[in-house]
Every structure is written in structure tokens, then in C-alpha cells.
Chain A
Amino acid sequence: MEFNVERGTFLEAVQKTLGIVERKSTMPILNNVLIKTGDGQITVVATDREVGLVAHYNATVVEEGGITIAARKLFEMIREIQGDSINLKKLENNWVTITCGKIKYRLPGISVDEFPEVSDGDDIGFSKIKSGLLREMITKTYFAISTDEMRASLNGVYLKIDRGWIEMVATDGHRLSVVKMKLEDDVVPDFGSEGIIIPRKGVGEIRKLLEDDDEYVQVGIQQGVCILKKNNTILRVSLIDSDYPDYEKVIPTERGIDVTLNKDEMLHSLKRMGVISSERFSGVKIQLTDHKMVLSSINPDVGEAQDELTVDYSGKDLEMGYNVKYLIEAIDVIGERDISFEMRESHGPGIIRSFGNDSYKCIIMPLRL
């Protein structure tokens, strides 16, 4: 096997696999990327058996064949090579040379036969969703995904499509982030009435695929695997097979005390409070009184902080505690200038949304200080 490929293309191709290849060595072959030649192109494949990536790139094929190579080392080699065109050649016993001008690397590979099968020729019904839409939904939910391995169903985002609306949800049990958007010219995919749960790592890889806002990405589901197609790339993500909790019942229906805030002002104020937090304590006290919002944080290990914002609110005075990190993360993803922060008395959840827009909500349970 031998081919010539443009350095920039090859670098990008290998870089895209780095998030997927395993770091652990339980199955050394999974540290590798598979590279095989095709008709005027090479195919680069990576998998950790949960998430799989298959991508095609233009190349000049000299001799057909395939090999797997340690992904991280290969990436570093290409990165350090100065030059335009790279030649990759498989020798006997699966050794590989990578040459560019006078630069020459020689390293051992592993035979293609040992690499797990990652299919790329799925013949299933694909639907189209705009990249920008999907990416925005991921950004607005990703931070709330649970890291607690005990609750497998919460270790991913929940995605549901219902009568022209697409909804994405993530929760760690303390806060819940939900985005609901109208599908327009997008062709509605069929996810079944149950919806699907995409694991955290898969969500991260999907996000990387969604670069251009106006491009469309094709989405399909087959036997517990979510398949995304874009141009030369196919991403396969094994879904979490579990029931998602009944999140709709924790979204309050009655209105609380609604405060309108400038997003940047509030975010900066919260970040000032965040300086005081530590691993052991990250609380912020929020008091509404006399058309002011007083934020304060006291951490016996670090010190104290206080700040004040002039605000507009309807309802009576209030005093609540929250985890400052939860508030920051919920507000940070809002693109609009103003936000609405709805609070409730007696341990009721708080809700963050962009002002006058209900498509994104983050429900945050208070922290009793």
C-alpha cells in the first residue's frame, strides 16, 4: 500500500480522530487509526466501539491496501513535518514509512484484520437538519449532562422530535437544560416516539462535525446507533439504552418572581462571586430587595464577596441560594442581550431563559446555605 496526500488534509484527517481513539490500553488496536486506500482517495477510520468515525479524503493512490497506525504518534509526526505532500508506504511486517522530502519516519503498524468493523455503507432513511440548529442545541445542553456513572440515562442528552419540533434535554439531577426549536425546511427525522439518548462523548464528537451553520447534516437511526453524515464524513454513535426520566414534570408551570437582567452584567457579577468558591463550597446568595439584586458569597476557606445590580422585577422581595457554577453555565450559553431569571420561594426551582424567548430554559434547584 502506498499513497501521496497533501499534508494539511492528512493532518486534519488524523486530528479529527483524536477525540475518539482510546487513551487506555485495554485493547491496543483502538489506539490506532485505520487508513485504507480507495478510488482516488483514502479512508480514515477510528472507533472506541461506542463512537466510530469514517472519513474520506482525496489522495493519489500508488498501491492499494490498508494499515492501522497509532493515532497520536501519527498526528505528532504529520504536525512536525514541514512540506506540502506526504508519502505513506506500507512495508513488510506492517512497518510504515512516512516521507516528505528529506524527512523520513519509520514506525510499526498493526494489521487491518484486527481492527473492529466500522460500517460506512448504511442504506437507511436519512433526514436533514441544519448544522447551526443542532450545534446551538448541543451548546445549550451539553454542560448539564451528568458525570455520575450511577445514573447511566443521565450521562447523555435526550433528543426528541415531535410534530415539527425538535427538543434536546440534559440534566444531572440538580439542574435541567432544555431547548425546543421549530424545524423549518429541515426534513423531519424519525426518532420514534420514545426519543433517543446520545452519550456525552458522542455528543462532543457530533458538535465537532457541525462547523458551518447553513450546511445540512444527515441524521438516521439504526439498531441503537445514531448515524450522522456530512460531506465526506460519517459518524456513528451508540445510543444509551435506557429510559429518560420524566423531565417535563419538574418544569414548573406557574410563574415565579421574574427578574430581567442584562446578560453580561449578571454573568460578570456571578463570576466575581465565583472567585470565592472552592471545591467544598460554591454557593451564592441572591437577595431581591428594593429594586436591587444583591449577590453575596461567603466561603470560610477563602473570603467574602458582594455585588449589587439594579434590576426590574415583579413580585415581592426574596432571598435564595444557588450553586454559582450552575448559574454561570446556564447564562453563558445565551446569545441574546437580556435574560430573564425566574425565582421561587421555599426551595422552588429557578429558571433561566433569554428574555422574551421560551426556546431555551435551564431549571436550577436552589442550594440551601
Chain B
Amino acid sequence: MDDLLFELHSWPRAIIHVDGDAFFTSCEEAIHPELRGKPIIAGGERGIVACASYAAKNRGIKRGIPLHEAKKRCPELIVLPSDYETYSLFSRRLLNIMRRFTPQVEEYSIDEAFADITGLRRKYRDSYVGIAQSIKAGIKQELGIGITLGLSLTKVLAKVASKHEKPDGFTVIPGRAIPLFLRNLPVEKVWGIGHATAHYLSKLGVRTALEFARLPEAMVTRHFTKPGREIWTELRGESIYPVVLEEKSSYASISKTKTFAPPTTNREYLFAQLLRNVESACIKARRYYLAPQKIAIFLKNNDFTIRGVEAKILRPTAYPLELTDLVKQLFESVYRPQVTYRSTGIVLMDLREDRYIQYSLFESPVKIEKIEKIYEAGDFLGEKYGKHTLHLGASHPIDQLGTGRRGEPTVRAQTRFCGETKRKHLGLPILHVKV
């Protein structure tokens, strides 16, 4: 009965999802072969486990636990600082290997990518399964890192496949096998289904992905909004999410979070960190000509509890100078003296296009123009001499007290020339122009 619904013997579309296995530590193992197989973690500078190698995971080390806890569980643990520059280089090379097979590759995150290989069977004189195997072998051979690959008819199913077996997994879900893979998969494990949807689904009596996929169309239309209907369609093997080539040119929201070490009780420094996040997020927003209509801030204290608050912005703007008053107010409403904080973060929300300025009756146009000019100059300086060359006075304590690092800096950071930025050191173009 199950199979009737999914009687798809051919491959209307063949989509691959590649997922790095413990990506950060995999990269470290690739450049330091002597660490291979040892319990290592990255994230030393943040005081928590950002990524744990499988050897470490086997000793009970999980992502997100504090360092002291990790060391207690595994005294021989090797702690490394996160070296994001190296990881981005590996990520770039991974994508380039995939692009050799098909131009249609989507960079989904630093260690995840989709590729559409539909129609390439003739070119490579190989089956889709064969092509996928070649991609996986290529990555393993050239980069020396472990990856898991999933192959199926849609992006959502390819994700199901790559999650099925990890690490070093290779899972193929052809049309007729869809029910087999969805039968025991809890619906909340499906890409795009969050807590709220999962709870809603459980009220409809749906617990597994298969139960969801087998809901009648009329019911899905009645109970779900567009994203829900799309996931349902994808789960049934009909591809509607395309593999997108372009870099994202627009965002619904932009968030920036920074953990500093050691944690601090210093109010000024904390506020500087928060404002620096505002500055970073605004730089990104301006790059895409976006301005937020809402902003949220949060402070995370040393026992990992988070306090946050959000507010609407009267006139959308991506200039920190216009946001400082509001951010200060929000900060005051969540900040508690004597509490030790470890990170701050902000989210710019409800972003809308901001190429044009609608002048307002009760604000001086000249003032707006002036602020705009300042940031034009600031962005220019930023590109030439590094981000935040021009920054707010209130975020200056970071430059005086440092961004806060614990343990040894990465090798790359140690070998950087004086005045050289991360981006320059790597030669990464700002807009990721494809070669």
C-alpha cells in the first residue's frame, strides 16, 4: 500500500546533498595528520565545544558543552582554537570539486552543499549513483576530509538521505524506496519542520515523515501554509526547491553573535560588543541595500541563559548611528549588573530594500544625508583597511580591551602580517566572485 503513492522508478531529478562529518575537526585532521583518530575539538577560544571529532564524540563530548566539562569527561582531549579561515578554504575547495561535475551547485552553509546532477548520466556514461560515488571519492581523496553524501529526487529527500547514516555515509533514496526511509523518521527530523509544525502535526496524528507525506492533498492545502505544502510535495519525490546557483542576494534577517573570552561583567565592554555586532550586521545589510524594520538583541550569561528583547524601528535604517539610542534602551532593559556575560547578539529583522530614501516631515533630510555620507566613507575605509576601521566611539572598548581570546591563537592568525586582515590573508574576494 505504501508503495503505491511513491511509484517513481525513474529519476525525474537527481539531487545530491553533501554534508561534512565533524567538519571543523576534519579539516584540522587533514592538515595535522598526527591528530587523526584522536579526541580533538575546535572552539577553544570560545570556551565551549564548537565541533568535536568522532573520536571525541565517542567519549561523550557533545557540541555546545563547556570546555571544563569536556575535559572532565575526556582528560586527554586536544583543544584547538577554531580556525575559520582554514575551514572556509576547505569549504571553497569542496564546492569546486562538486562544480567539476555539475555547474549547478548550491552553497548551503560552510559544510553543506546541494548539487543537481540531473541529465548528466550520458556525459559521464555512468548512473546517478555512480556519479555521486565519484564526487564523494574525489572529495575524500583531494581534501582528506570525511563527508556524507545523500542522493535522492528532491532537496528535502537528499537531506533525509545524508542524515540517514553518518559519518562517511553514502545513502541513495530512489523513488520506490522513499516509504522505506520515511517510515521510521520522526517528522521533526525533516528539513524545514520545526518545533511548532511538529507539535501541530502531532495534533493531526502525524508522527513520522511517512505519515506526513501520505496526508491527502486536500488536507495539506487546508492545514498548512506554503512552506508546509512545499515540504510535503518534496517528501513525495516531486522536486520544487531548485538548487540555487547564486549567492544569496537578499535576506529576510541578518544576525550577528559574538562570544568573547573571558566572560565579563564590564558593562561598557559588554555594550561595546553588542554595538560591534550591530555594526557588523549593518555592514552586511548595507552591502545588500537592505534596512531592518525590527531589531532584536540578546545577552547570554555564563550559565548559558539568554535574555533578549526586540523592538520595531520607526524608519528602517542600516546606519548604526541611528540605531544606537534604541539599542542602548534595549540593552538597559535586559542588562543586569553583577551577572557574568559570555556573548551578545543582535538580529536585524523584516529587512526591506533600502536603495531609496523617503524623507520625513519631522526629521531633517540634511541630518540623514550626513549620516549616509559618513557611512559611505566608512564602508570605503572598511574595504581598504579592514572592517570596523571607522567605528562608533561606544564600540571602541573592543579595540582597547581586545576581542578576548582564550588559549593559543590559530597558526594563520600568528603568521598574519601587520595590518593584514583575514580576508586579505586568504585572498577571499568580498563578493565571492566565482572563478
Residues in B with CB closer than 8 Å to A349 are 361
* One of A171, A175, A280, A367 near B357 (C-beta < 8 A): A367
Chain B proximity of A54: nearest CB distance (Å): 37
Query: Nearest Cβ distance between residue A226 and chain B, in whole angstroms?
Result: 26
Residue B312 lies at the interface, judged by CB distance under 8 Å to chain A: yes
Contacts of A283 in B (CB 8 A): 356
Residues of A within 8 A of B358 (CB): 174, 323, 365, 367-368
Please name the residue on chain A nearest to B363 by beta carbon.
A173
Interchain nearest-CB distance for B372 vs A (Å) = 9
The answer to the question of A224 belonging to the interface, with a C-beta cut-off of 8 Å to chain B, is no
Q: A280-B352, A368-B357 are in contact. Are A150 and B312 (CB under 8 A)?
A: yes
- Set of chain B residues within 8 Å of A176, measured between Cβ atoms: 361
Please tell me the size bucket of the interface on B: 10 to 19
Q: Which of A235-254 touch B at CB < 8 Å? A: 245, 250
- Chain B residue nearest to A283 in the complex (CB): B356
Q: Are A250 and B356 in contact (CB under 8 A)?
A: no
- B73-96 residues with Cβ-Cβ distance < 8 A to A are none
A148 to B312, CA, bound (A): 10
User: A365–B352 contact, CB under 8 A?
Assistant: no
User: In the complex where A321-B356, A368-B356, A368-B357 touch, is A250 in contact with B365 (Cβ < 8 A)?
Assistant: no
| Chain B residues near A323 (CB-CB < 8 A) | 358
Q: Are A365 and B356 in contact (CB under 8 A)?
A: no
Residue B360 at the chain A interface, CB threshold 8 Å: yes
Determine if A171 and B356 form an interchain contact, defined as CB atoms under 8 angstroms apart.
Answer: no
**Least CB separation from B313: chain A residue:** A150
Return chain A residues, CB-CB under 8 Å to B417: none
Interface of A (DSSP majority class): loop
Distance from B249 Cβ to chain A, minimum over Cβ atoms (Å): 12
B356 near A369 with CB under 8 A, answer yes
Closest to B358 in A: A367
Whether A363 is near chain B, meaning CB under 8 Å from some CB there, is yes
Flag if A367 contacts B359 (CB, 8 Å): yes
**What residues of chain B lie closer than 8 Å to A171, measured between beta carbons?**
361
Contacts of B312 in A (CB 8 A): 150
Decide yes or no whether A73 CB sits under 8 A from chain B: no
B3 surroundings in chain A (CB, below 8 A): none
Residues 101-119 of B contacting A (Cβ, < 8 Å): none
Question: By the criterion of a CB under 8 Å from any partner CB, how many residues of chain A are at the interface?
Answer: 24
A366 lies within 8 A of chain B by Cβ: yes
Q: Does A355 contact B (CB under 8 A)?
A: no
A and B contact pairs by CB, cutoff 8 A, 28 listed: A148-B314, A150-B312, A150-B314, A151-B314, A171-B361, A173-B360, A174-B359, A174-B360, A174-B361, A176-B361, A250-B362, A280-B353, A283-B356, A323-B358, A346-B365, A347-B359, A347-B365, A347-B366, A363-B361, A365-B358, A365-B359, A365-B365, A366-B359, A367-B357, A367-B359, A368-B358, A368-B359, A369-B356
Which chain B residue shows the least CB distance to A347?
A: B365
A164 and B397 alpha carbons, distance in the complex (Å) = 61
The digit string for B335-378, where 1 denotes a CB below 8 A from any CB of A, is 00000000000000000110111111110011001000000000
Distance of A153 Cα from B361 Cα, bound (Å): 15
CB distance from B419 to the nearest CB of A (A): 36
Residues of A within 8 A of B369 (CB): 347
Q: Which residues of A contact B355 (CB under 8 A)?
A: 281
Bitwise, A283-305 to B at CB < 8 A (1) or not (0) is: 10000000000000000000000
> Looking across the interface, which residue of chain B has its beta carbon closest to that of A369?
B356
- A173 and B362 contact, Cβ closer than 8 Å, known pairs A148-B314, A151-B314: yes
Q: How far is the CA of A321 from the CA of B358 in the complex (A)?
A: 9
Within 8 A of B (CB), among A119-175: 148, 150-151, 171, 173-175
Instruction: List, in ascending order, chain A residues with CB within 8 A of B314's CB.
Output: 148, 150-151
Smallest distance from the beta carbon of B294 to chain A beta carbons, Å? 11
